[in-house]
Amino acid sequence: MAASHHPNYKKIYLTLVILLAISVAGPFIGIKWVTIITAFGIAFVKANMVIQNFMHLKWERRIAKYVLAASGALLLLFYYGVAPDVQAHRGQHWVNDDALAATARGIPAPHGSEGGEAAHDEPSGGGSDGSPAAPAAAAAAAAESTAAPNAFNARAAFAANCSPCHGTGGRGDGVVAAALNPRPANFADPAFWRSRTDAVLIRTIQGGGAAVGKSASMPAWSSLLSEAQAADMVAYLKTLSH
Amino acid sequence: MSHRPMATDRSATGIPTGRLAVWWVLASEIVIFGGLLASYLMHRLGHPEWANATAVTNTWIGAFNTLVLLSSSFTAVLGHQAAEKGDGRQAARYLYMTMGGAATFILVKTYEWGHEIAAGYTITSNGFWSFYYTAAGLHALHVIAGAIIMGIVARDAARGRNLHRVELIGIYWHFVDVVWIFLFPLLYIAK
C-alpha cells in the first residue's frame, strides 16, 4: 500500500491563490501575449499543482498515470483527427458558407441586423477602433441620402458590413483584421486597384473571396447586395483610395 | 479507534480498488470535458466575433469562484489527511467546509447566470453563449453531484466508518477544481 504523503498544503494553497491573482492581473497590462501566458500558462501550472499534490498523483502508482494519459491521448487523437474537417470554415475543396456568414453577422453593426444578437453586442462594442466610428459614418450617410431615400447607400452598407474587417477607412485594419490570414484588402493601396478590374471586384463582393480564388474569409454578399448595388459599392471603395 | 481496513489492494496494480475506480471515472471525465473544451477552443479561434460576447462575462465573479473552488480543494485535502490519521470527526468537519464551498460556488453562479439571462444572453443567443452555458452548466452539475456524495461520505466519516472514501471523494473534487481552472481563463480572461 502506498505510504501516506502529506506536503505542506497551506503553502501549496497560498501559491495557488497568488497564481490566481496574477492570472487576473495579467490582462490589465494590456499586452496580448502576456495575457495568454498569465491566463493559460498559469492555468496549466495551477492544474499541475492540484493534480500532483492534492490528488496525490505524484505518489500514485504509475498505472494510474498511464490510465489518465491514455485517456488524454485518445481524446487528442480522435478529437483533432476529426475537428479540422468539421470545425474549420474552409478546406481545400469546400467552404462553410454558414459559418462565414455567422462570423460576419456576429460582428457589431451600427443598426440591428440579425435578431437580438446585434443588440447584445452593442454594450461590448465600445473601445475597439471600428465600432464607435461606424454609427457616425452611417448617420452622415443617412443625412446625405435624403434626396433619394430609397437609393442604395454604399457608405452605410460598408460601415455596417465591411468595416469590421476592412476598417472604417477601408485600410484593411478593422477590429477583426488581426485574426485573419491573409489580411483583409486595403482599398487605400494603389497596388490593390492596379491588379483588379471592376468586374472581378463585383464578383468578389457577390460570391465571396472563394469565388475568385482569394481568401474564403471574405464572405459572399449576394443575398444582401444585387449586382448593381455591388457595382455601387465598388464605386464607393474607389473613393477610399485617395 | 475503529480504523476500518482500506479496500483490498488489486494484485495487478497495487492500487486500492476504490481509488483505481476513481481514476477510471476521471479518465472518462477527461474525454467529456476535454472534448468540450477543445471544441470550444477551435470555435473560438474560428469566430473572432465571439470577442464581443466574452467581453460581457464578469472576470471578478469568475475569479471569486476560482478562489472558492481552490479553497474547497484545500479543505478537502486536509480532510483526507485527517482521515488517514484516523480522525473521522475532523475529516467530516473538513468535508462539510468543502460542501460549504460548493454551496457558495453554486449561489454565486445562480446570481451570475440570473443577471446574464435577464440581460438577454441565453443558451440560444449564439455559439459562444451555447458553449458558456453548456460547459459551465456541466461543470456545475459535477459540483452539485460531488457535494451530495461528499455529504454521504462525511456522515459516515463522522462515525468513523469508511474513512478511505474521504480520499476518494477528494480526488474527484480536485478534478472538478482542475476543470474550473481551465474554464476560468477560457470563458472569463481570454477576451
pLDDT in tens, A39-71: 899 999 999 999 999 999 999 999 999 999 999
Q: Is the pLDDT of residue B139 over 70?
A: yes
Residue A146: pLDDT over 50: no
Does residue B99 sit within a domain? yes
Of the residues A60, A87, A114, the one at which a domain ends: A87
Which of A39, A67, A116 lies at the smallest CB-CB distance from B185? A39
Find out whether B135 and B187 touch, Cβ atoms under 8 Å: yes
| Dihedral angle, C-alpha B158, B163, B169, B170, nearest 10 ° | 90
Q: Do A179 and B59 lie within an 8 Å CB cutoff?
A: no
A 10 A CB-CB count for A199 gives 10
Range among A21-25, B125-129, B152-156 with highest mean pLDDT value: B152-156
What domain range includes position A28? 9-87
DSSP tag of B86:
T
**Residue B145, in any domain of the structure:** yes
With beta carbons less than 8 A apart as the criterion, state whether B33 and A75 touch.
no
In a domain, B107, yes or no: yes
Query: Of the given ranges (A18-22, A146-150, A192-196, B150-154), which has the lowest mean pLDDT?
Result: A146-150
- Answer for the pair B135, B36: CB distance below 8 angstroms, yes or no: yes
Single out the residue in A25, A55, A87 at which a domain terminates. Answer: A87
pLDDT of residue A153: 78
Q: Give chain A's domain count.
A: 2
Residue A92 lies in a domain: no
Within a domain: B13: no
Q: CB within 8 A of A118, min separation 6: which ones?
A: A108, A109, A111, A112
Residue of B nearest to A26 (CA): B189
Q: Does residue A1 sit within a domain?
A: no
Please check whether residues A76 and A105 belong to one and the same domain.
no
A204 and A104 inside one domain: yes
* Mean pLDDT, range A137-146, rounded to an integer: 43
Assigned domain for B90 exists: yes
pLDDT over 70 at B36, yes or no? yes
Is residue B42 a part of any domain in this protein?
no
Query: Which band of pLDDT confidence, cut at 50, 70 and 90, is reported for residue A81?
Result: confident
Q: Are residues A56 and A121 in the same domain?
A: no
Which among A87, A112, A138 is the end of a domain?
A87
Q: How many CA atoms lie less than 13 Å away from B62 in the CB half-sphere?
A: 24
Residue in chain A closest to B71 (alpha carbons) equals A13
ipTM for the assembly: 0.89
Residue A30 zone, left/alpha/beta (φ > 0; ψ -120 to 50; rest): left
Average pLDDT score over chain B = 91
A73 within domain boundaries? yes
Chain A nearest CA to B14, separation (Å): 7
What crossing angle do the helices spanning B127-158 and B17-46 adopt, rounded to 10°?
160
- Is pTM, for the whole model, over 0.90? no
Is the per-residue pLDDT at B54 higher than 80?
yes
Q: Give B36's contacts in chain A (Cβ within 8 Å).
A: none
Whether A102 and B47 lie within 8 Å, measured CB to CB: yes
Residue A83 sits in the same domain as residue A105 = no
Angle between helix A62-87 and B17-46 (nearest 10)? 20
Is residue A123 scored above 70 in pLDDT?
no
Contacts of A90 (CB under 8 A, 6+ apart): A96, A100, A210, A216
Give the residue with greater pLDDT, B11 vs A173: A173
Does one domain contain both A45 and A14?
yes
Q: Do B52 and A40 touch (CB under 8 A)?
A: no
B57-104 pLDDT, tens digit per residue, is 999 999 999 999 999 999 999 999 999 999 999 999 999 999 999 999
Of residues A140 and A227, the one with the higher pLDDT is A227
pLDDT at residue A117, rounded to an integer = 38
Say if the Cβ atoms of A87 and B39 lie within 8 Å. Answer: yes
Among candidates A91, A100, A99, which has minimal Cα distance to A219?
A100
Overall domain count for chain B? 1
CATH number, residue B180: 1.20.120.80
* A112 and A204 both lie in a single domain: yes
* CB interface of A with B, residues 177-236, below 8 Å: 179-180
Q: Do A137 and A159 fall into the same domain? A: yes
Question: Are B49 and A106 a contacting pair, CB within 8 Å?
Answer: yes
Predicted confidence (pLDDT) at residue A107 exceeds the cutoff of 80: no
pLDDT of residue A213: 84
B68 chain-A contacts, CB cut-off 8 A:
none
User: CB B15 to CB A64 under 8 A?
Assistant: yes
Return the pLDDT at A70: 96
B22 in any annotated domain: no
Residue A151: its pLDDT value, please?
56
Chain B touched by A51 (CB under 8 Å)? yes
Q: Is B16 strand, coil or helix?
A: strand
Asked if B178 has any chain A CB less than 8 Å from its own CB, the reply is yes
Res A201 pLDDT > 70: yes
Given this model, what pLDDT does residue A119 score? 37
Q: Which pLDDT value is given to residue B6?
A: 53
- Asked if residue A65 lies in contact with residue B30, where contact means CB atoms within 8 angstroms, the answer is no
- Write down the H helix ranges in B85-184: 88-118, 127-158, 164-184
Regarding whether A103 and A192 lie in a shared domain, the answer is yes
**Is A109's pLDDT higher than 90?**
no
Residue B20 lies in a domain: no
Q: Hey, is the C-beta of A148 within 8 angstroms of any chain B C-beta?
A: no
Q: Where are the alpha helices (DSSP H) in chain A?
A: 9-29, 32-36, 42-49, 62-87, 97-106, 117-125, 133-144, 154-157, 163-166, 190-194, 198-207, 227-239
Distance from CA of B141 to the nearest CA of A (A): 20
Give me chain A's average pLDDT, please. 77
Per the structure, the complete domain to which residue B107 belongs is given by 63-189
CB contact under 8 Å between B171 and A63, yes or no, is no
Q: Does A36 touch chain B (CB under 8 A)?
A: yes
DSSP characters for A31-79? -HHHHHIIIIIHHHHHHHHIIIIIS-GGGS-HHHHHHHHHHHHHHHHHH
Query: If you average pLDDT over residues A154-174, what whole number do you get?
Result: 84
pLDDT at A139: 44
Contact criterion met (CB < 8 Å) for A180 and B47: no
